[in-house]
Amino acid sequence: MQNSLVERRQKYGWSQQRLADELGVSRQTIISIERGRFDPSLPLAFRLAEVFECRIEELFDPHGDIA
């Protein structure tokens, strides 16, 4: 699943570790999500959307249409 997590995180000026700390997950989890190796659980996806003040659909796209 394609995502715009890297762009959102960089827009906030956050490191992967800062985002991981904010969410209570490991840095490796953030790396795996950003690289598309791991799809987050629905609760984690909602938390990501909350942190970045956007909708889940703005972060994740199962069809690969996020540019």
Listed in sequence order, the DSSP H helices in the chain are 5-12, 16-23, 27-34, 42-51, 56-59
Query: Given this model, what pLDDT does residue 61 score?
Result: 86
Query: Given this model, what pLDDT does residue 16 score?
Result: 98
Domain topology for 2-54? 434 Repressor (Amino-terminal Domain) (1.10.260)
pLDDT block averages, 10 residues each, the chain of length 67: 93 97 98 94 96 94 67
Gyration radius (Cα) of the chain, Å: 11
Kindly report the pTM of this predicted structure: 0.86
Query: Given this model, what pLDDT does residue 64 score?
Result: 65
- Listed by start position, the domains of the chain span 2-54
Query: Given this model, what pLDDT does residue 62 score?
Result: 76
Both structure tokens of 18: 């800062």
